[in-house]
Amino acid sequence: MDGRILLVEDDSSIREITTLGLRAAGFEVLTAADGLAGLERFRAEMPDLVLLDVMLPRLDGLEVCREIRRESTTPVVMLTARGDTIDIVVGLEAGADDYVRKPFEMPELVARVRAALRRRGREAGSEGPARLRLGSLEIDVAGRTVARDGRDIPLTRTEFDLLVELGQRPGQVFGREVLLDRVWGYDYLGDSRLVDVAIGRLRAKIERDPAAPALVLTVRGAGYKVARPAVAS
């Protein structure tokens, strides 16, 4: 599989070796050394995926991510220096799809990049039902939109995929690892906090009362599920 990847990283050694590794894996790599240059390069070249360092000169990686999200749905993978939950939350809030913790080995990074690209390819040839109904939510799977009472609810790619994955089988419990595999595309070596953070953000958007969720439920000790529709409705 090949694709065009924009790598925004200020450290020249990391930039060079990462470029080398990604090229060896068959990707075409574009680079930028600071946030502003990265944003310009993104607009000029329209890459298939962006690898974004968090700490960048001139324009912060999170800010770059927000800008990219305003303009497109191109997958963004953050390179974070630390694995704190707060960093994951901040990254996902900025619209990132995934994060890779530094230091990383090339095979790990390549696997994450491939997974993110695969998800993008999968949604092009969509499977399953074209539309889902979840309580008062209308989900247009093919059109990738969610609406309640005729009003669109903007979801990120990850949030949408998560909702569709759960919504296709109401009542079935999905473990965190299963969701990591199906939505993010990699198995237990990933961090299951990613799932929890993404679920929290999804609830904040689709639940009438995010503190007392009625659509996406936690199953203690097991994972998450979508409530089965009540027979009466």
Partner 1 sequence: MGGLRRRLAIALVALVAIAVLGIGVGTYLFVDARLRDALLADATRQAQFNLSVLVPDRMAPGLTADTFEATGLPAAFRLRGDVEEVVDFGAGGVYVSTARLGGALATFPDGLRSSVDAGRLGYAWAAIGGEPALVVAGRPATAPPASASPPTAPAFYFVFPAGSIDLALGQLRVGLAVAAAVALLLALATAGLVARGILRPVRAGSLAAARIAGGDLSARVAGGGSDELAAWAAEFNRMADSLASTIGRLEASESQNRRFVAEVSHELRTPVTALVAEASVIEAALVDLPSDARRAAELLVADVRRLRVLVDDLMELSRFDARAEQANLEPLDLGRVVGSIVAARLPGAAVSLPSHAVVVESEARRLDRILGNLLDNARTHAAGSPVEVAVAVDPRGAGASVTVADRGPGVAEDALPQLFDRFYKVDPSRSGGSSGMGLAIASEQARLLGATLTAAARPGGGLVFTLRLPATRSLRDGDDPVIDGPEADDEPDPSSPATLRSSE
DSSP 183: I
* Shortest distance in whole angstroms from residue 199 CB to partner 1: 11
- Examine residue 26 and tell whether it contacts partner 1 (CB under 8 A): no
Q: Starting from the edge strand earliest in sequence, which strands make up the sheet with 145-148, in order? A: 131-134, 137-140, 145-148, 151-153
| Residue 46 CB contacts under 8 Å (≥ 6 apart), including other chains | 72, 74
* 192/137 Cα distance (integer angstroms): 26
The distance of Cα 32 from the centroid of its chain, to the nearest Å, equals: 22
- Examine residue 73 and tell whether it contacts partner 1 (CB under 8 A): no
Residues 163-192 that bind partner 1 (CB under 8 A): 171-173, 188, 191-192
Bridge partners (DSSP) listed for residue 151: 148
- Residue 122 vs 228, nearer CB to partner 1: 228
- Residue 143 vs 229, nearer CB to partner 1: 229
- Examine residue 219 and tell whether it contacts partner 1 (CB under 8 A): yes
Find, among 74, 55, 62, 64, the residue nearest to 14 by Cα.
Answer: 55
- Residue 23 vs 122, nearer CB to partner 1: 23
Question: Cβ-count burial of 92 within 10 angstroms (0-12 exposed, 13-18 middle, 19+ buried)?
Answer: buried
* 102/83 Cα distance (integer angstroms): 8
* 134/229 Cα distance (integer angstroms): 7
- Examine residue 221 and tell whether it contacts partner 1 (CB under 8 A): yes
- Residue 68 vs 109, nearer CB to partner 1: 109
Choice from 13, 127, 149, 233 touching partner 1 (CB under 8 A): 13
- Examine residue 24 and tell whether it contacts partner 1 (CB under 8 A): yes
- Examine residue 14 and tell whether it contacts partner 1 (CB under 8 A): yes
Determine the interface stretch with partner 1 among 41-49, 127-135, 178-186, 217-225 (rule: CB under 8 A).
Answer: 217-225
Q: Which residues bind partner 1 (CB under 8 A)?
A: 11, 13-14, 17-18, 20-21, 24, 81-82, 84-85, 102-107, 109, 171-173, 188, 191-193, 196, 212-213, 217-222, 225, 227-228
